[in-house]
Amino acid sequence: MSAHAGPVGLPIDGRERATRAGWSFPARNPSTGEKLWDLPDAGPEDAQDAVEAAWRAVHATGWSTDGPMRLKALLGFQEALLAESDRLVELLATETGVPVALRSVHVDEPVAALHSGPGRADPKVTTVITPATSPLAAALAEVRRAVVAGGAVVLKPAPEAARAAIEVGRIALDFLPRGVLNVVVTRDVDVAIGLTVDRRVDEVAFTGSEVVAERVRDAATRARKQVRTDTGHPVSIRAKDDADLEAVVARAAVAVATNAGQACRIPTSVVVPALRYMDARTAAIRAMDSVVVGDPLDPATLCGPLRSPVARDRVLRYVALAESEGADVARGGRALDRPGWWVPPTVIGGVARDSRLVTEELLGPVLMVVTESRTSPSARA
C-alpha cells in the first residue's frame, strides 16, 4: 500500500489533504451494506485547487517539455501500481463488488498498458470523469494519455469507486510531480460540472451513461472545451436457427451475469427464431444457473452484488416493467434475501423487441430472450 497512510484525504497538488470544509461521506460494502470507511466529499474550493495545481504543472514547470523525466516518472508509477495490484484488486472488490476473478480486465491490463501507445500532440489539462463500473481501467487510460504528452489530470471518480481512485492518487504522489494527477471525490453534481467548465481546463474525458454524458457534453461544449465521451449502450445479438443457437445464448447469459452485468457493451438481449424460443430459454436458464454468485473476494465468484442500492433498485424496476408488459421472468428477478445489494442472474423471456428492456442500458445481471416476431402491443396498434 502507499506510504501515505492515515485518514483518507484527497491527493491534490502533491499531497494528501482533507477537504476545505471538512466534509465526508460513508462508503458502504455492497456485499453487506456495512460501513467501510469515510471518504472526503469535495466542494467547489477543492475542485478549484485541483485544477490550479494541474494548470501549474503544465504551464509553470518543465513537466510538459521534459520527455525523459516524464518517461521515468511514468515507469516508476507503473512499477508501483504493479507492486500494489493485489491491494487495488481487493479495494475494487470491497467497495464496488467487482469480483477478484476479473482482475485482469479491471487492474492488470490497464496497469500494463500505462506506458504503451502514442501520447497526444500537445500537453493539456484534462478533467477525467469515470464510472463505478470500470473505474481504474478508464482512469489509467486517461492518465497515460495525459502524462505521455506532458499534460495533467484532475480525476473525478464515481463515489462508489472513490477509494481505489484515491489509492492510485496516493501512489502517484511518490512518482509524479506536483499537480500532474489530482483526485477530486465529490457527491455534488455541480462540483463535478464545475470541473468541466473551469477556464483552466482544456478538455474533458467522460466514461459512463449516455444520460450523464449528454449533460457533460452540453456544459463542456458551451465552455468551449474539447470533449471525449465513452458511453455504454445495450447490445442485442441474433442467434440463428441452427445448432449453435444454444451456445450463443449461453455465452450471452454468462457475459451479462459476470460482475452482475455492470459493464458496457455486453449482450443484454438475444433475438431468436420463434420456433426455437423454448430452446433458447432453457439454454439461458442453464447457463445462468452455472454462474457462481457470492463474495467478490472469492476467486470462484463471477457475479457479485450491485454497486449500490440505487443500482439494485434500478434493475428491479426494469424487472417490474417486464412483468407489466406480460414478459416471462423465467429465472431470478427478485432481490436476494441477504444483506447488501444483490440481484441474482435473471432470465426474462417473451420480451418485445421495442421494449425499453431491450433499447435501454439496464446494467444488471439480466438477459432478455426475444423472439423475432414479437413487438409490443403499442407498436402493433
Q: Over the stretch 322-375, which tens digit does the pLDDT of each residue have?
A: 999 999 999 999 999 999 999 999 999 999 888 998 988 889 999 999 987 655
Backbone angles phi, psi at 306, to 5 degrees: -70, 155
Over residues 185-204, the mean pLDDT reads 90
For the chain, give the percent of residues with pLDDT over 70.
93
pLDDT of residue 381: 44
pLDDT in tens, 76-124: 999 999 999 999 999 999 999 999 999 999 999 999 998 765 555 589 9
The residue whose grid cell reads 450471452 is 252
First-to-last CA distance in the chain?
A: 61
pLDDT in tens, 29-80: 999 999 999 999 999 999 999 999 999 999 999 999 998 999 999 999 999 9
Question: Is 65:58 a contact under the CB 8 Å cutoff?
Answer: no
Identify the H or E element spanning 153.
strand 152-156
- Round to whole Å and give the CA distance between 148 and 216: 25
- Round to whole Å and give the CA distance between 207 and 229: 6
Among residues 277, 292, 274, the alpha carbon closest in space to that of 348 is found at 277
For the chain, give the percent of residues with pLDDT over 90.
69
Amino acid identity of 281? R
- Round to whole Å and give the CA distance between 14 and 111: 21
